[in-house]
Amino acid sequence: MLIAGMSAGAGNLGWIVLVACCALIGAGVFAQWVEGSPALLRPFGYYGSILGGLLGVSVIAFCQGPAAAVMAAFAVAAPWCLAIGRLRCVVQGCCHGRPVDWGIRLTNPHSRAVKLAGFSGTPIHPAPLYSILANLLIGLVLLRLRVRGAGPFQIAGLYLLMAGMSRFVEEAYRGEPQTPRVAGLPLYQWMAAGSVALGMVVMVLRGPPLPPLRPPTAWHLASSALWAVVSAFALSMDFPASERRFSRLTGRLAPA
């Protein structure tokens, strides 16, 4: 919210909130559809957030709002958000790697790497770290382009392309048993390939020039802090006694 507002302008804060809400809801709905189960009550999916965000941008375009500027703003912000979010993956044990001779070891029974994959004490690839490093690089490249006056579709398309390429490679080192496979590849590698293709299409579009980056206003800072609380509640708050959907991050510790 903070980075997107500085890029698109505080005057577009309402549109930014719309896209942020669509991304968060899309992440939850998509992951429930793909991975949801009694053993995994509240997953969130990266590609669901992308699809939800694109839906929000489409709504802005339909309303003749600043769709290109907002899309570019979220492209600039997304790598930093995902890099921070991967720290949650390390804590929770989600998005984990497959076994390797060296690597990190997880033993917490609540961890998804332990609970779902049975990798307790087994060295595994630090897949979230790979994602963090890739997104830091992507974030620096896009920030440089934004500062130097690149077009909105060039920035948004390049994000989709670079994020898709890095995710395709990252997925080869991940070892989540609940990820569906299609024609021998994890579902997310197919979606990463689609992201690359979509990014190449978006990059050739022409759009209006972007406004200069501006420092945040007091209202912008307050709304960003509020959204941080909303996101933290959605992504990390557990209700241990409940078995309802979205009440817990990993579901039951043992079958009922």
Q: Check whether 73 has a pLDDT greater than 90.
A: yes
Supply the DSSP symbol for 80.
H
Looking only at the bridges linking them, the beta strands covering 99-104 and 185-186 are unpaired
Helices and strands (DSSP H and E) totals, the chain: 9, 4
pTM tops 0.85:
yes
Better pLDDT: 245 or 183: 183
* Average pLDDT of the segment spanning 34-52: 81
pLDDT at 256 (0 to 100): 42
Q: How far is CA 179 from CA 32, 36, 96, 187, in A?
A: 12, 11, 11, 7
Q: Measured in whole angstroms, how far is the alpha carbon of residue 145 from the centre of its chain? A: 21
**DSSP calls for 166-235:** HHHHHHTTB--TTS-EETTEEHHHHHHHHHHHHHHHHHT---PPPPPP-PPPHHHHHHHHHHHHHHHHHH
Least confident residue range of 2-11, 97-106, 125-134, 246-255: 246-255
Coil, strand or helix: which one is 99? strand
- The answer to whether residues 47 and 188 touch, using CB atoms and an 8 Å cutoff, is yes
* Average pLDDT of the segment spanning 69-93: 93
Tell me how far apart the alpha carbons of residues 231 and 234 are, in angstroms, rounded to a whole number: 5
pLDDT at 37 (0 to 100): 65
Q: Measured in whole angstroms, how far is the alpha carbon of residue 204 from the centre of its chain? A: 24
pLDDT at 255 (0 to 100): 47
- The answer to whether residues 100 and 174 touch, using CB atoms and an 8 Å cutoff, is no
The residue ranges of every structural domain in the chain are 2-236
pLDDT at 44 (0 to 100): 85
pLDDT tens digits, 172-229: 999 988 888 999 999 999 999 999 999 999 999 999 999 999 999 898 999 999 999 9
Average pLDDT of the chain is: 90
pLDDT at 242 (0 to 100): 79
* Average pLDDT of the segment spanning 104-117: 88
Residue written as token pair 């968060």: 24
Least Cα distance to 113 among 250, 256, 232 occurs for 250
pLDDT at 38 (0 to 100): 65
pLDDT tens digits, 120-177: 999 999 999 999 999 999 999 999 999 999 999 999 999 999 999 999 999 999 998 8
